[in-house]
Amino acid sequence: MALETFRQIEPAAHLRPWISGICVGVSSPGQTYRRTRLPGGEVVLLFRATYDGTGELTVSGPLRHARYKIGRTNPFFVRVSIRPGRARQVLGYPLCELADRIFPLEDVRNSFGRTLCSQLVEGGPDRAAALVQDALSKVIGSQGPKAAPIVSQIVQAMDNNTCAAVDDYADLAGLSPRQLRRLFQFELGIGPKRYLRIARLRRLLSTARANVPWANLAIDAGFYDQAHLIADFKELLHATPDTFLAARTEYKICH
């Protein structure tokens, strides 16, 4: 398994409404890693240095299903998580075109992607966080001050209360269910019903522990019953609850 050291960097204050976190990792060579990315509305910018002195900078769109990966380590990497509902303003692309996809950043932000990739190759892990924040500050600052999109506000409300119905959130925002669906696809890349299911599952996973009955956890997180919980696990995580929980020791969770 890979020997890695990680630094979690809190974004600068003016970036926090957009960026939930920055992680810089340094790895030992010739190792393998196993990671899970949970389904969710985050968009991830990921830079990976290579052993030949180059690197790649990719965008990973929002996920409707969990993604499991086994790979070889890189000298260092930088992972930037863009908050749900904010990535369209950063990337300038409808999120419905980015969901479940991984592609070079320069495909949507050509000169920005190439320049930042070159800077990260030259700067190395010690300067990586500062370089990323400076680059994102320029992109976000060029747009002028903007209020959080309504989708971003609804996503936060769903994360905080997974027991309500989607129509309740539409009413709260003064939108019809159809309007809410269209906005979610454009700004988030995931429909509101699926996002609420994902939020419910992630809420449960944040409290799941060995030897705690799943039936108790299911009701607390907003599932109808244990059968409802198992069905969502199988569809969204491709695993049963017990199998997924056991695999946590093997697969590091990356949101």
pLDDT band per the 50, 70, 90 thresholds, residue 226: confident
Count of beta carbons in the 10 Å neighbourhood of residue 71: 12
Instruction: Give the mean model confidence (pLDDT) for residues 70-92.
Output: 91
Residues 233 and 188 in one domain: yes
Residues 164 and 83 in one domain: no
Measured over the CA atoms of residue 191, residue 242, residue 254 and residue 65, the dihedral's sign is negative
Instruction: Give the mean model confidence (pLDDT) for residues 62-77.
Output: 91
pLDDT band per the 50, 70, 90 thresholds, residue 71: confident
Is pLDDT above 60 for 144?
A: no
Furthest C-alpha separation in the chain? 54
Using the 3D structure, point to which of 141, 168, 196 is the last residue of a domain: 141
Q: Domain holding 21: CATH number?
A: 2.60.120
Using the 3D structure, point to which of 141, 173, 201 is the last residue of a domain: 141
Residues 8 and 102 in one domain: yes
Whole-number pLDDT of residue 30: 76
Residues 176 and 249 in one domain: yes
Residues 137 and 212 in one domain: no
Instruction: Give the mean model confidence (pLDDT) for residues 237-246.
Output: 88
The DSSP secondary structure of 53-82, one letter per residue, reads: S-EEEEEE--BSS-EEEEEE--SEEEEEEE
DSSP state at residue 148: P
Which 3 state secondary structure label does DSSP give 100? coil
Of 237, 202, 239, which is closest to residue 223 (Cα–Cα)? 202
Instruction: Give the mean model confidence (pLDDT) for residues 176-200.
Output: 95
Q: Domain holding 248: CATH number?
A: 1.10.10.60
Residues 160 and 216 in one domain: yes
Whole-number pLDDT of residue 1: 44
Whole-number pLDDT of residue 250: 56
DSSP state at residue 140: H
Instruction: Give the mean model confidence (pLDDT) for residues 177-181.
Output: 93
Whole-number pLDDT of residue 222: 85
Residues 136 and 231 in one domain: no
Number of domains the chain contains: 2
Residues 8 and 134 in one domain: yes
Instruction: Give the mean model confidence (pLDDT) for residues 28-38.
Output: 84
Residues 131 and 158 in one domain: no
Using the 3D structure, point to which of 141, 168, 187 is the last residue of a domain: 141
Q: 4 has which bridge partners?
A: 27
Whole-number pLDDT of residue 252: 60
Whole-number pLDDT of residue 221: 82
Write out the residue range of the structural domain in which residue 190 sits: 150-254
Residues 122 and 157 in one domain: no
Instruction: Give the mean model confidence (pLDDT) for residues 64-93.
Output: 91
**What's the pTM value of the predicted model, to 2 decimals?**
0.89
User: Mean pLDDT in the chain?
Assistant: 88
